[in-house]
Amino acid sequence: MPFTTSRGPFPATRMRRLRASAFARDLVRETALSPADFIFPVFVLEGSNQREAVPSMPGIERLSIDLLVAQAREVASLGIPALALFPVVPAERKSLDASEAWRSDGLVQRTVAALKDAVPELGVLTDVALDPYTTHGQDGIIDEAGYVLNDVTSEALVRQALSHAEAGADVVAPSDMMDGRIGAIRQELEAQGHSNTLIMSYAAKYASSYYGPFRDAVGSAGNIKGGNKHSYQMDPGNSDEALHECALDLAEGADMIMVKPGMPYLDIVRRVKDELKVPTFAYQVSGEYAMHKAAFQQGWLSQEAVMLESLLAFKRAGCDGILTYFAVEAAKALQ
Ligand SMILES: NCC(=O)CCC(=O)O
Ligand SMILES: [Mg+2]
């Protein structure tokens, strides 16, 4: 009689009772995903009616402003609260001083204005960093040796952030990892009457090798002088340092902090959330998206289930929201 047991001390706690029916599983689930958890990163191009695929990011396209506005309407209708905007800057607009970054009629500034005009309820985050605008692909202004100069770069970032706020950006998101730039940007925003402009700091941004497809998307892959960003982005071996970085940016006036990349760094998210208890975000970066998509295309992983599980993991780790290239697909799956 292999399927009967002798009577006898039964387990007082049967963990499986709450897993035995769908209603009970729904009742006790600790974490859930909603479209309101997502921020959708988008790439904007010059021109009109322009659409370019990004080969290493299947399903993601660079769009001209007119097409991006149409996409933004769809994003808002899916219940996604915000976009994060990244420009594809033509080579002839790049320079050593990155002055294109704060031109009032630059691509980002025009895109922000068009988005806020057409879809005012959709939050717009802008990337504050010089890498799309420098000829050498580093996130700041460099000296003769190629070292990124902190305080000179910070001044440029202040100009860039102010130009985004003036164009109507809801959130400026410095991704450059210069020291002191959050405080400098906050001071200038206050001084210029933008006291409600939010700052989401890329506070713990690691010198990761998962950013490759993004650099393909914005066309900065080929030209990173020196080959890496180790003198300002964090060492992947460090964890305490992430808390220090986040605490500094909060003290300087950040409203929200971000850990980047995402899935390989969810231990950092958990520590930040537990210790600082502030609005915490993570970026599921291009390489994470690319490796999922590659496996989906091979039929090696099941697309919808794995996508949603990957995003749920961010919530469980403590994220209040997730920057993800899956935002639209995931929001559709959750409708
Ligand atoms: N400052 C924005 C990024 O570097 C994005 C990286 C990625 O998606 O790989
Ligand atoms: Mg910092």
Total tally of structural domains belonging to the chain: 1
Average the pLDDT over 227-236 and give the result. 95
Pocket test for ligand 1, best of 260, 289, 322, 324 (most atoms within 8 A of CB): 260
Question: What confidence score (pLDDT) does residue 1 get?
Answer: 52
Q: Is residue 205 part of a domain?
A: yes
Q: Does 46 reside within a domain?
A: yes
**What is the per-residue pLDDT for 271?**
98
285 CB under 6 A from ligand 1?
A: yes
Known catalytic residue at 260? yes
| 22 within a domain of the structure (yes/no) | no
Range of the domain at 64: 32-334
Longest distance between any two alpha carbons in the chain, whole Å: 82
121 labeled part of a ligand binding site:
no
> For residue 5, what pLDDT band results from cuts at 50, 70 and 90?
confident
10 located within any domain: no
User: How many CA atoms lie less than 13 Å away from 166 in the CB half-sphere?
Assistant: 15
ipTM > 0.85 (yes/no):
yes
CATH code (residue 131): 3.20.20.70
pTM attached to this predicted model = 0.96
Q: Nearest 5°: CA angle at 149, between 46 and 244?
A: 100
Question: H helices within 31-139, ranges in order?
Answer: 65-77, 107-118
Is 18 inside a domain boundary? no
pLDDT score at 89: 96
In a domain, 23, yes or no: no
d(CA 124, CA 112): 7
Phi, psi of 250 (to 5 degrees): -65, -45
Confidence of residue 221 (pLDDT cuts 50, 70, 90): low
| Structural domain includes residue 1 | no
Calpha distance 96→89 (Å, rounded)? 14
Relative to the CA of 175, which ligand 1 atom is closest? 1
Q: Which stretch of DSSP H or E encloses residue 27?
A: helix 22-28
139 Cβ closer than 6 Å to some ligand 1 atom: no
Task: Tell me what pLDDT residue 245 has.
Answer: 98
Is the residue at 259 inside a domain? yes
Nearest ligand, measured from the Cα of 247: 2
- The question of whether 273 is a catalytic residue gets the answer no
